[in-house]
Amino acid sequence: MEKRWTIVGEKTNKKDILNIQEILKVDKVIATLLCQRGLTEYDQIKAFFRPDYTQLHDPFLMKGMSVAIERITKAIKNNEKILIFGDYDVDGTTAVSLVYSFFKEHTKKIQYYIPDRYAEGYGISIKSIDFAAENNFSLIIALDCGIKAIDKIDYAHLKNIDFIICDHHLPGETIPTAFAVLDPKQIDCPYPYKELSGAGIGFKLIEAYSIAHKLDLNKCYHFLDLVATSIAADIVPITGENRVLAYYGVEKINSNPCPGIKALLNLNQLAKQINITNLVFVLGPRINAAGRIKQGSAAVELLVCEDEKTATELAVGINDTNTQRKDLDLGTTTEALLMLSSNPLTEFKKTTVLFNENWHKGVVGIVASRLIERYYKPTIILTQSDGKVTGSARSVREYDIYSAIEQCGSLLEQFGGHKFAAGLTMKKENVSEFIDKFESIVSSTILEEQLIPQLIIDTEIEFHEITPKMVRILKQFAPHGPENMTPLFCAKNVFDTGWAKIVGNNHLKLELFQKSNPNLRFSAIGYDKGDYVNFFQKKTPMDIVFKIQENEFNGKTSIQLLIEDLKVS
């Protein structure tokens, strides 16, 4: 699929670049990368390269925090039963695991509850409130959900149950009348950092409790492996406070992870240094699989487990569930692609919306993402569950799919999400009208260029600028994620030394140079790029987009280029 190359380094303020070069004594490439991340002052750059706990904000700056801590303190003092409630995805289950694990050291009257994706759906449910009432819970701490649960909180009042909502999603016009609401995205919340994950809000809650009761904050930092996992899986910006939490969380995963995470890593043979990418593509899907296919509570059971032998047994079950998820994912994706390829209107539409009542609800979001890889259009995959049509939406870069869905609100029972991903529910009789209306809205609002995948390239670079010192500094840009992605470079007019070949399953193996310095050569690999081998064998000058990485082989470490895209110069 053709991609647009956008080199953002060309628009970076040249004065800022020169200023950073002068202050830090670094090369132009590093200075450019820092400028692109909004880091132009020495103190900002120092904080970026040296994350530290002192950079965390006072949790009591968050609106509602003092009230929440007072209520939890009262509940523990009076031996009230506390229920820790959370969503069934990675962010929800990690949030529940850390808050439950922390407070169980302070009270025995505590339990966790993860709703069933199919019987209860997303967020706070009537069933969970009834469970709490029947079992004499008087306080529910809801994590990663609840900011729009107006009617559910009203129902809880009737049952004499107090709620503390810990959410990070965008609030609606009305805030639930919970005992306390923690969400930095509330308009009148003065908390300085707005992009915490759900587990991040949970972390601030236990941090505040520790400060209020003069407890050792290291007890809170003990759970940062869970917070880092949530940050990675929920794809929140890895900036500011999230960068600090992710940095120390990844460090803990690499040194002393909780037994549950350790067991999953061991099972999947991830013994070397773990990074955010590993968490996104290996750990996250396995934790998610529990809630997608069976019960999200199985993920919490694993993550709160303190015994390594038991954790290994639980991890095997989670791994097996993930295998089932992958089989469902593959089967559903194959069926969806067949539906699209057999429909003559597919190429003319600006959206992809498919409905099959037999598809598994737990994989529709994954399938939507898979279809975007092929067709690159705003995509919604729908199935049927409990008499309603439900589904997941995924967007292309730069297009607000949530806004488009919101304009179809009259046809929906409920919906929620954000700019690039959303969930929705409707009556079956509204499906056809919804498909037409959604197509109409997107067609009238999306730009043609938004339907072409875009590669955001940090800067163009010459091979002579790639030095061991530069690579050492590049490594300190981690952890990577939204708003601090792994730097992507462009090099023009490159040639292969004559050893271009295809290895493995259509992977392109090269040794590249530029004519300005033919003796300086870098090995390169382009996964699934074997179709380009003839260009290099014919000595055609090529432009490449790539990441810089270190490759270890036979005990030696060398610089390798990981090719993301390429075209004839």
As a whole number of angstroms, the distance between CA 294 and CA 316 comes to 14
Q: Please check whether residue 235 lies inside any domain of the structure.
A: yes
Q: Please check whether residue 26 lies inside any domain of the structure.
A: no
Asked if residue 544 and residue 475 are part of one domain, the reply reads yes
DSSP 8-state code for residue 463:
G
Examine the fold and report which residue of 286, 319, 352 is the final residue of a domain before the chain moves on: 319
Nearest to residue 456, comparing CAs of 484, 495, 419? 484
Asked if residue 81 and residue 140 are part of one domain, the reply reads yes
Checking 438-445 for CB contacts under 8 A at 24+ apart, the result is: 438/351, 438/353, 438/380, 438/404, 438/405, 438/408, 439/349, 439/350, 439/351, 439/353, 441/404, 441/407, 441/408, 442/350, 442/351, 442/378, 442/399, 442/404, 443/350, 443/351, 445/399, 445/404
Asked if residue 153 and residue 90 are part of one domain, the reply reads yes
Task: Say which amino acid occupies 60.
Answer: F
Asked if residue 254 and residue 394 are part of one domain, the reply reads no
Asked if residue 272 and residue 154 are part of one domain, the reply reads yes
As a whole number of angstroms, the distance between CA 122 and CA 145 comes to 8
Asked if residue 508 and residue 377 are part of one domain, the reply reads no
Asked if residue 407 and residue 259 are part of one domain, the reply reads no
As a whole number of angstroms, the distance between CA 166 and CA 68 comes to 10
Q: Please check whether residue 212 lies inside any domain of the structure.
A: yes
Q: Please check whether residue 430 lies inside any domain of the structure.
A: yes
Q: Which domain holds residue 488?
A: 4-9+455-568
pLDDT for res 344: 93
Q: Please check whether residue 423 lies inside any domain of the structure.
A: yes
pLDDT for res 271: 60
Residue whose pair of structure tokens reads 């003069």 in the numeric block: 214
Asked if residue 551 and residue 475 are part of one domain, the reply reads yes
Examine the fold and report which residue of 418, 451, 484 is the final residue of a domain before the chain moves on: 451
Which residues 6+ apart lie within 8 Å of 482 measured at CB? 235, 236, 237, 238
User: Which neighbouring-strand residues pair with 545?
Assistant: 490, 565
Q: Please check whether residue 475 lies inside any domain of the structure.
A: yes
| Tokens matching residue 325 | 């998820």
Nearest to residue 141, comparing CAs of 87, 84, 59? 84
Which residues 6+ apart lie within 8 Å of 208 measured at CB? 59, 60, 62, 65, 68, 69
Q: Please check whether residue 36 lies inside any domain of the structure.
A: no
CATH number at residue 224: 3.90.1640.30
Asked if residue 387 and residue 503 are part of one domain, the reply reads no
Examine the fold and report which residue of 409, 432, 451 is the final residue of a domain before the chain moves on: 451
pLDDT for res 319: 92
Asked if residue 415 and residue 461 are part of one domain, the reply reads no
As a whole number of angstroms, the distance between CA 119 and CA 116 comes to 5
Contact in structure between 184 and 62 (CB atoms under 8 Å) = yes
Residue-wise pLDDT for 109-139, tens only, equals 999 999 988 788 778 999 999 999 999 999 9
Q: Please check whether residue 334 lies inside any domain of the structure.
A: no
Q: How many domains does the chain have?
A: 3
Query: What are the pLDDT tens digits along the chain (569 aa)?
Result: 789 999 987 778 889 999 999 989 999 999 999 999 999 999 999 999 999 999 999 999 999 999 999 999 999 999 999 999 999 999 999 999 999 999 999 999 999 999 988 788 778 999 999 999 999 999 999 999 999 999 999 999 999 999 999 999 989 899 999 999 999 999 999 999 999 999 999 999 999 999 999 999 999 999 999 999 999 998 899 999 999 999 999 999 999 999 999 999 998 877 678 999 999 988 999 999 888 888 889 999 999 999 999 999 999 999 999 999 999 999 999 999 999 999 999 999 999 999 999 999 889 999 999 999 999 999 999 999 888 999 999 999 889 999 999 999 999 998 887 788 888 999 999 999 999 999 999 999 999 999 999 999 999 999 999 999 999 999 999 999 999 999 999 999 999 999 899 999 999 999 999 999 999 999 999 999 999 999 999 999 999 999 999 888 777 889 999 999 999 99
As a whole number of angstroms, the distance between CA 362 and CA 359 comes to 9
Asked if residue 418 and residue 395 are part of one domain, the reply reads yes
Residue 311 has, within 13 A of its CA and on its CB side, a CA count of 18
Asked if residue 222 and residue 361 are part of one domain, the reply reads no
pLDDT for res 180: 98
Nearest to residue 180, comparing CAs of 166, 190, 192, 197? 166
CATH number at residue 460: 2.40.50.460
